[in-house]
Structure formats: structure tokens, C-alpha cells
């Protein structure tokens, strides 16, 4: 039940309350939040580093409120907001999405419609997950589309799966 906010300027003296007020103000201004904003917790991720703005995680007690805000994200288009909103996932899910998003980029570059759904990639109505069997199936079914992303190693053509399987193993 969390949302992630990226790009909210960090104040040296900010408190959880001031951070919550800043998020609430942004939600009212940019997505037209009308209901009461009642998060369980609002906090930044990680330790402060000079020159780096940390993301903000907002936890909601009720899924309904999180979902109401998430569904209104389309109203951000064209508003040139300094803050981006995304769903906050568990580490394992985030790692899966990183790998699957590489496939999504390759497929979309070749006009194959696809979208990420939590920890799976949906292509032509079928869900693929970040596991060797599904990634191999993606390689086989979409060899032509993914072929432009293959490369040679020691004179042998290594397909998309071989290249990015190393990537996915890096995050496991």
C-alpha cells in the first residue's frame, strides 16, 4: 500500500509532518486530491547524500486511498510536474521489473505492444515472468523483434536472453 514520489526537494530540517504536508499540497495541486490525506507513514529512502534528492515513500493504511491517488496519475500529463509518482514495490519485484523492462523497451521499439503488470510483462495477452523458462520463451517467440538487441561474443551470436540473463543474475 505504498506510493513512491521522486523529485521532491529535500530540506535539511524537514520532519515527517512537513514532508507529509508537502506531499499533500502537491497531490491537491497536481492531481486534484479532494479526500482527506491520511498516510500511515511518510519518509525518505536511504541516508542523505550531498547533491542527491532521496525518494519519498508514502504508506497508506487503506488500499482504497492509495488506489484513488494512483488512478488519478493520468491527470499529470501536460502539467510539467517537478515530482514523479510511482508504485513502491518490494525489492524482489523491483529487480524483476528491471529485467522485464529491458524486454519491454526492445519489444516496443519494434511496435510490439506490451506493459508491465507488477512483476510480469504482458505481451499479446500472455504474462511472462523473470524466470529462465519465460525469458527463453520470449526470446523464441520474438526472436525477430529482439534480434536487433543481440550481440556477438567470441564470434558466436548471443541472443537477447543470454545478454540480459547475466543482468538479471547480477540483481539476484
**pLDDT tens sequence across 147-164:** 555 444 454 434 454 444
Per residue in 96-106, pLDDT (tens digit) is 888 888 888 87
Predicted confidence at residue 149, as pLDDT, reads 52
Q: Please determine, for residue 144, whether its predicted confidence score (pLDDT) is greater than 90.
A: no
Q: How far apart are CA 94 and CA 92, in angstroms?
A: 5
Q: Please determine, for residue 165, whether its predicted confidence score (pLDDT) is greater than 80.
A: no
Three cell numbers at 45? Answer: 529512502
Phi and psi dihedrals of 87, rounded to 5?
A: -80, 145
Predicted confidence at residue 166, as pLDDT, reads 43
| DSSP secondary structure code for residue 172 in this structure | -
Predicted confidence at residue 1, as pLDDT, reads 84
Place of cell 504536508: 21
Place of cell 501536460: 78
Q: How far apart are CA 137 and CA 143, in angstroms?
A: 10
Amino acid at each position: 500500500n505504498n506510493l513512491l514520489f521522486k523529485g521532491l526537494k529535500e530540506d535539511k530540517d524537514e520532519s515527517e509532518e512537513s514532508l507529509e504536508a508537502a506531499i499533500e499540497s502537491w497531490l491537491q495541486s497536481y492531481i486534484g486530491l479532494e479526500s482527506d490525506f491520511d498516510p500511515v507513514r511518510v519518509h525518505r529512502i536511504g541516508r542523505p547524500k550531498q547533491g542527491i534528492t532521496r525518494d519519498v515513500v508514502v504508506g497508506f493504511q487503506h488500499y482504497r486511498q492509495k488506489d484513488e491517488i494512483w488512478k488519478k496519475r493520468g491527470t499529470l500529463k501536460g502539467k510539467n510536474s517537478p515530482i514523479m509518482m510511482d508504485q513502491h514495490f518490494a525489492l524482489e519485484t523491483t529487480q524483476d521489473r528491471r529485467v522485464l523492462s529491458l524486454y519491454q523497451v526492445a519489444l516496443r521499439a519494434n511496435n510490439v505492444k506490451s506493459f508491465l503488470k507488477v512483476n510480469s510483462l504482458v505481451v499479446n495477452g500472455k504474462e511472462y515472468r523473470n524466470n529462465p523458462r519465460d525469458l527463453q520463451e520470449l526470446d523464441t517467440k520474438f526472436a525477430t523483434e529482439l534480434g536487433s538487441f543481440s550481440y556477438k561474443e567470441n564470434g558466436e551470436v548471443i541472443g537477447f536472453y543470454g545478454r540480459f540473463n547475466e543482468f538479471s543474475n547480477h540483481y539476484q
